[in-house]
C-alpha cells in the first residue's frame, strides 16, 4: 500500500545525502540490502552517487541492476557505461537483458516499462528508483489527460509494495534542476537517451512543449502538482481502507457477493469492485468499464451468462457471486500415469504424487497404469460407500463449482472406472483404508487436494 506522507522539499543540493539517509532509515531496516535500478541517465547516476556517500556515513548495503531493453542502437554502450561506473565506485553490479515485444498492444514505451519492472522485481531486496519531482508532475498530468481515477492520479508514491517487494522512490520531492546542480557540483557523468527528445512519446511532448510554457506563468507548478498527487494518494488510501472494510463482509473466498453490490450505494459498489478486480488481477479498468461490469453483474437476467474480458482474465457471474479467473482454453488430453512422482499436463499444470498411509487412493489396488484425462462428459462417481453413484454435473452443482471451472477438472481412470476427480473427491471403492498404502495428488499452479 502506498505511503501518503507528504514529502518535504529539499532545496539545498548539499542536503541531498542527509535526505537520502533519513529516507532509508525511515523506510528500510538496518543492514537490509536494496537494489538500485541504474539506467545511466542523470537521475539514477545522481542517486548512485548519493548512495555511495550515504554508505560512508551510515551502513546501507546496496547493489545495482541495469536493465538493457535492447531497443536503442546504443543499448550495449549504456550497459558498458554502467559497468564502468559501478566498477569505479566498487559497487556490486548486474545487467539483465530483456526482450520487449513490439506487438503486445501496450505500445513500445509501456511494454518496455513492464519488462523493466519485471526484471527489477525479480532481483534480491527492495528496489530503489530515481524518479523525481518533474517525473511526478508529468505522471499526474498524463494520468489526468487519460481520464484516470483517484488511484491513477495519485501518481507515484514514495513507497509501494508490489509482488512481495517494495519500490522506493526517495527523490520525489527533488526537482531535476536540483539533481543537475548536484551532478555538476560533483562532476558526474551520465548518458542521454536519444529517445528522450522524440515528441512521439506523450511524456516527452509534455516535457518539451507543454511544461516550458506552463512554467512561464506558473513558476512553481512542479511542486504544486506533486502536492496534488500527494493529496490524491491520501484519498486513494482512504478509499482502500473503506474497500477493505467492505470486502470483509462482501468477499467470500475471493468471490464477490452480488447482493451486497446491489444494496450498496453506487459509489461504494464501484469502489469495492475496483479494489476487488485489482486485488485479483492487478488491472485497473476505466470508470466506464467498471460501470458496464457492475450493471451486468447486478441487472443481467438470472439465466444470462455474464462474462467480461479483462486482459488475460475473465470476470463471470455464477449464482449470487462474481468470480475472476484467468481465461484458459482447455484442450482435451489423455495421458498415462505409471507411478512417477510428477506428471506434466498439456495445460501447463504439474501433478505431484505423494505416498501416504490410510488416505488418498489405495496404491496396491492399481494393477497397471492410471489414465489421466481432461473433463469427460457424462461421468459419475460414488464419493460415499453408503450412497449410489452421482453424476459429476450433479456433484459440481451441489458443491457450487462454476461451469467454467469444471472444464479444468483432472480425472483419473482405471480402465473404464472413474477413480478420482482432482478437487472433487475419490470414489469410495478406491479410497485407502486405515491400514493401506495410498497416494494423494496435488496440482501446481492452483493447488488442489484430493
Please give the sequence-ordered ranges of beta strands (E in DSSP) within 14-111, or none if there are none: 34-37, 62-68, 93-97
pLDDT digits over 132-173, tens only?
999 999 999 998 888 888 888 887 888 888 877 889 999 998
pLDDT of res. 230: 87
- pLDDT at residue number 134: 92
Under the banding of pLDDT at 50, 70 and 90, the label for residue 330 is confident
Task: State the sign of the Cα–Cα–Cα–Cα dihedral 178, 158, 37, 29.
Answer: positive
**Looking up cell 509482488, which residue turns up?**
163
Greater confidence (12 vs 166) lies with: 166
Q: Which fold is adopted by the domain 253-326? A: Chorismate Mutase Domain, subunit A (1.20.59)
Task: Note whether 430 and 439 are within 8 A (CB).
Answer: no
Convert the pLDDT of each residue in 36-95 to its tens digit. 999 999 999 999 999 998 887 777 789 999 999 998 899 999 999 999 999 999 999 999
**Is the confidence at residue 20, as pLDDT, over 70?**
yes
pTM of the complete model: 0.70
Domain 13-233, classified CATH 1.10.10.10, yes or no: no
What percent of the chain has pLDDT above 70?
Answer: 95
162-196 in b/e form (b: 16+ CB < 10 A) is eeebbbbbbbbbbbbebbbbbbeeeebebbeeeee
Please give the residue that has the higher pLDDT: either 340 or 449. Answer: 340
DSSP 41: S
Mean pLDDT of the chain: 87
- If one compares 424 and 109, the residue with the highest pLDDT of the two is 424
The DSSP string of 276-295 is HHHHHH-----HHHHHHHHH
Q: Given pLDDT bands bounded at 50, 70 and 90, which one contains residue 5? A: very low
Q: Which three cell numbers stand for residue 192?
A: 542521454
The reported pLDDT for the residue numbered 447 is 39
Grid coordinates given for 123: 532481483
What are 231-259's pLDDT values in tens digits?
998 999 999 999 999 999 999 989 999 99
Domain boundaries, the chain: 13-233, 253-326, 334-444
Q: What is residue 365's predicted lDDT score, i.e. its pLDDT?
A: 85
For 287-322, the pLDDT digits (tens) are 889 999 999 999 998 888 898 998 889 999 998 999
Mean pLDDT calculated for residue range 222-232: 89
Look at 108-112, 170-174, 433-437 and tell me which has the smallest mean pLDDT. 108-112
Kindly report which listed range (41-50, 115-124, 269-278) carries the lowest average pLDDT score. 115-124
Q: Is the dihedral of CA 304, 309, 310, 313 positive or negative?
A: positive
The per-residue pLDDT for 64 is 95
Per-residue pLDDT at 105: 67
Q: pLDDT at position 445, please?
A: 60
CB 57 within 8 A of CB 22: no
Q: What is the DSSP string of 354-386?
A: EEEESSSEEGGG--S-EEEES--TT-EE-SSTT
Please report, rounded to a whole number, the percentage of residues in the chain having pLDDT higher than 90: 48
C-alpha to C-alpha distance for 365 and 351, rounded to whole angstroms? 20
The tens digit of pLDDT for each residue in 349-371 reads: 899 999 999 989 998 888 778 99
pLDDT confidence bin for 373, thresholds 50/70/90:
very high
Cα 420 to Cα 431: distance, rounded to the nearest angstrom: 9
Amino acid at each position: 500500500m502506498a505511503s501518503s506522507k507528504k514529502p518535504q522539499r529539499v532545496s539545498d543540493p548539499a542536503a541531498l545525502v542527509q535526505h537520502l539517509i533519513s529516507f532509508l532509515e525511515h523506510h528500510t531496516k538496518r543492514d537490509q540490502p536494496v537494489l538500485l535500478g541504474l539506467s545511466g541517465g542523470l537521475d539514477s547516476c545522481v542517486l548512485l552517487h548519493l548512495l555511495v556517500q550515504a554508505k560512508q556515513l551510515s551502513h546501507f548495503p546496496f547493489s545495482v541492476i541495469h536493465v538493457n531493453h535492447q531497443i536503442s542502437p546504443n543499448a550495449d554502450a549504456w550497459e558498458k557505461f554502467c559497468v564502468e561506473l559501478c566498477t569505479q565506485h566498487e559497487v556490486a553490479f548486474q545487467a539483465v537483458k530483456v526482450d520487449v515485444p513490439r506487438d503486445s498492444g501496450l505500445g513500445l514505451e509501456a511494454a518496455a516499462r513492464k519488462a523493466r519492472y519485471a526484471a527489477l522485481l525479480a532481483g534480491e531486496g527492495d528496489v530503489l528508483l530515481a524518479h523525481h519531482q518533474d517525473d511526478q508532475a508529468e505522471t499526474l498530468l498524463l494520468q489526468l489527460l487519460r481520464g484516470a481515477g483517484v488511484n491513477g492520479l495519485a501518481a507515484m508514491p514514495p513507497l509501494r509494495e508490489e509482488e512481495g517487494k517494495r519500490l522506493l522512490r526517495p527523490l520525489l520531492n527533488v526537482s531535476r534542476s536540483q539533481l543537475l546542480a548536484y551532478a555538476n557540483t560533483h562532476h558526474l557523468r551520465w548518458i542521454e537517451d536519444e529517445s528522450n527528445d522524440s515528441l512521439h512519446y506523450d511524456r516527452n511532448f509534455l516535457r518539451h512543449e507543454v511544461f516550458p510554457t506552463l512554467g512561464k506563468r506558473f513558476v512553481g507548478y512542479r511542486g504544486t502538482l506533486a502536492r496534488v498527487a500527494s493529496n490524491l494518494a491520501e484519498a486513494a488510501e482512504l478509499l482502500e481502507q473503506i474497500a477493505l472494510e467492505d470486502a470483509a463482509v462482501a468477499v467470500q473466498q475471493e468471490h464477490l457477493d452480488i447482493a451486497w453490490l446491489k444494496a450498496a450505494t453506487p459509489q461504494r459498489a464501484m469502489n469495492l469492485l475496483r479494489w476487488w478486480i485489482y486485488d485479483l488481477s492487478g488491472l485497473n479498468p476505466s470508470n466506464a468499464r467498471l460501470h458496464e461490469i457492475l450493471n451486468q453483474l447486478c441487472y443481467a437476467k438470472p439465466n444470462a451468462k455474464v462474462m467480461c474480458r479483462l486482459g488475460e482474465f475473465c470476470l463471470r457471474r455464477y449464482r449470487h457471486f462474481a468470480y475472476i479467473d484467468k481465461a484458459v482454453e482447455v484442450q482435451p488430453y489423455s495421458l498415462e500415469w505409471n507411478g512417477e512422482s510428477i506428471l506434466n499436463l498439456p495445460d501447463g499444470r504439474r501433478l505431484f504424487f505423494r505416498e501416504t498411509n490410510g488416505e488418498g487412493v489405495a496404491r496396491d489396488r492399481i494393477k497397471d497404469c492410471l489414465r489421466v484425462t481432461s473433463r469427460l462428459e457424462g461421468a459419475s462417481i460414488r464419493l460415499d460407500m453408503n450412497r449410489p453413484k452421482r453424476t459429476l454435473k450433479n456433484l459440481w452443482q451441489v458443491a457450487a463449482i462454476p461451469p467454467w471451472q469444471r472444464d479444468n477438472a483432472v480425472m483419473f481412470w482405471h480402465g473404464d472406472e472413474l477413480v478420482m476427480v482432482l478437487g472433487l473427491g475419490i470414489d469410495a471403492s478406491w479410497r485407502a483404508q486405515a491400514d493401506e498404502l495410498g497416494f494423494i495428488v496435488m496440482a501446481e499452479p492452483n493447488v488442489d487436494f484430493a
